[in-house]
Amino acid sequence: MAVVIEKKTNWATWQYLLLFLVPYLIVGWDTLKEAAEGLLHGEALSEDFLMSVATLGALGIGFMPGAETQFPEAVFVMLFFQVGEMFEELAEGRSRKSISHLMDIRPDSAHVERGGKLETVHPEEVTPGEVILVQPGEKVPMDGIVLEGNSSLDTVALTGESVPRSIHAGDDILSGCVNLSGVVRVKTTKAFGESTAAKILDLVENAAASKSKSESFITRFAKIYTPIVVALAVLVAVVPGLITGQWATWIYRGLMFLVVSCPCALVISVPLTFFGGLGGASRKGILIKGSHLVDKLSQVKTVVFDKTGTLTEGVFEVTAVHPEVIDQTELLHLAAHVERHSTHPIALALRNAYPNEADTCSVEGIEETAGHGIIATVNGKKVAVGNSKLMDKLGAAWHPCHHNGTIIHVAIDGEYAGHIVISDRIKADAAEGIQALRNAGIGKTVMLTGDQESVAAAVAQALKVDEYHAQLLPADKVAEVEKLLSQGTLAFVGDGINDAPVLTRADVGIAMGALGSDAAIEAADVVLMDDKPSKIALAVQIARRTLRIAQENIALAIGIKVAVLVLAALGLATMWMAVFADVGVTVLAVLNAMRALKA
C-alpha cells in the first residue's frame, strides 16, 4: 500500500509529516527508547533498532525528489510491531503462569507447639522433630509423620492428580499439599529447606536455565543471520541507487529488508515453545529439569525399569502359607515374633499378617545374619526364619515352592516347619504404561531387578516387557544400562536411593514416585510426582510435541522471511508484506507455541 500525495511544496510535506508524527511517537516511543538504549549498550542489531531505522527511513523517504510519502506505512508498521509485542507478552505470561502455579505450594507459615503453646512462625524456623498443627484449608509446611487426626489432602500441585488422598495417624505427610478437612498434628522429619515443597520449587525455578539444542541453534542463527540481512539491506539500498539514480525506490526496498530481517519470530517463539512444554508437563505432575532434556526425552528409543517401587507397589504382603508340622496360624505367629524388631519390608509383611503380636510369648536371643535371616528363641524353642541359605546352614530339609514370590522358610529346633510366600503387588497401571510406551514408538522395554529369577520372570510376563535381568546389584544395573546405551537414547526409570547411579548413567534419568527418595530426585533428569508408570509415555509425548511445534515455528518463520526478502529485492513486495513477514509471522509463531501448554 502506498499513499500518493501531490507534492506542491516542502511545507505541505512537513504538514503531512507532523500529522502522522503524533501517532507515530505515541505508538513507537517505547521502541525508539529501547533502540537508543541498545545503541548505548552496544546492541545495535536488536529488533527495536531495526524497526526504528526502518520506520524513520520511511518517514524520511517522503522528502526525496520524486518519491511518494510513506508516512502512513511508518505509523502502521510501528503500530503492528507493538501489537506483536503485546501478543508476545500475553503468551509469555501464560507460559510462566503454567509453571508458576507450582509456586502456590510454598507455605507461608507454620503453627508449632512450643512450651504448651501454639506459635505461628515461618517454616524455616521449625526444626526437625518439632510438632506442628495443620488446620483445614492450610498448606502443609513441612514433611513429617501424622501423630493425631484424620484428613484428606489435595495433592494436585505435587502430582497433578485431582483425587484427594486420605491420611491417618502414622502416615507420612508431604509439604505443599493442602489439608482439606480435619485438623492434624504432625511431627516434622525434615528442615524446610530439605522438604518436598522446597525441592520442587528449586527444580521449577531452574528448569528454564539450560537451553535446548533448538534454542541454542536459534541464538547462534540470529547472531549470524541478522548482520548478514542488514548488510544486504544496505547493499540493496545503495548499489542499485548508485547505478539507476532511483534512490527513493531502492532505499524503500532496503527498508523492507530491515523490517523483514528482525528475527523476533524465531528468538521469541522457540524458547516460548519449550517454556510452554515445561509448564504443560508440570501441570501433569511431570517436572523436566531443563529445555535441553526435552530434546533428549523426545529421542528415547529404550526404556529401562527398576522393578520394586517402580513397576510394583513396593508393599509386600503374605500371599500363601504352607506349614509342615504346625498349623498356618502358629507358623505366622512364630515368624512374626522372630521378625518383631526388624525394619525390613519382609518383616513388616509378616507382622501385618499376624497382628496379634503383643501377647505373653517370650522372645530372646535374637541373632540376625545379613543375607540369610534371623534366629531367636521363642518360648524356649529356637526358631529360624530366613531363606534357603539359612536352612542349609541349620541342616533343615527345606523344599521349593511353586508359588511366585519371596519364600520365607521357618525351622523349629533345626526341623523344617514350613514356608511363607510374600509377594509385591504390581501397580495398577504398570501394564498400561508399558503398552503406552509401545504405542508411542518406544522400541524396547527392559526390567532390571535385584529380586530372584522366578519373581522377576512372573512380573515380566505379566507386564509383557521385552527383556528382563534378575538378581542384580546396583553396579550390575549400571553395567546392563551401559550395554543398552549403544541401541539408541535410553531412559532409566527408578525410585530408590540404590537407583541413583543408574539414573545418572542413563541418557535420561526418570525418578518414579521420587517423593520417597531425595537421592533419586537429585540424580534424575525428569521427576514424576506420583507412582504412575503411564506418566512416562505422556512425558515422551509432551517432549515430542514440544519439539515438533518448535520445528514448525522455525520452518514457518524462515520460509516466509526468505520469500519476502526475495520479493523485496525484485521490487514485488510492499512494506505491508514486510510487516507481515515480521510481526504477522511472530504472532502466528507465538500462537502456535501456545499449543505446547496443552499437555
Question: What is the Cα–Cα distance from 368 to 89, expressed in whole angstroms?
Answer: 65
Q: Which of 48, 295, 306, 582 is catalytic?
A: 306
β-pair partners for 422 = 318, 406
Question: What is the Cα–Cα distance from 597 to 98, expressed in whole angstroms?
Answer: 7
Q: Do the Cβ atoms of 450 and 306 come closer than 8 Å?
A: no
Rg, Å, the chain Cα set: 34
354-357, Cβ contacts within 8 angstroms, sequence gap of 24 or more: 354/329
Phi then psi for residue 249, to 5 deg, are: -60, -45
DSSP designation for 339: T
Q: Are strands 131-134 and 373-378 parallel, antiparallel or unpaired?
A: unpaired
Question: What is the Cα–Cα distance from 200 to 155, expressed in whole angstroms?
Answer: 13
Kind and range of the H or E run holding 58: helix 47-61
Question: What is the Cα–Cα distance from 350 to 347, expressed in whole angstroms?
Answer: 5
The three-state secondary structure class of 208 is coil
Q: Give the distance, in angstroms, between the CA of residue 354 and the centroid of all CA atoms in the same chain.
A: 42
The residues, ordered by sequence, that sit 6+ positions from 514 with a Cβ below 8 Å of its Cβ are 495, 520, 521, 524, 527, 528, 529
Question: What is the Cα–Cα distance from 356 to 300, expressed in whole angstroms?
Answer: 50
The three-state secondary structure class of 178 is strand
Phi then psi for residue 312, to 5 deg, are: -115, 165
Q: Do the Cβ atoms of 339 and 328 come closer than 8 Å?
A: no
- For the question of residue 306 being annotated catalytic, the response is yes
For residue 407, CA distances in Å to 82, 121, 163, 396, 447 come to 72, 51, 36, 15, 21
Cell of 396: 533343615
In 3D, which of 416, 391, 422, 402 has the Cα closest to residue 326?
416
Task: Spell out the alpha helix ranges (H) of 178-263.
Answer: 196-206, 213-244, 247-261
Q: Catalytic amino acids?
A: 306
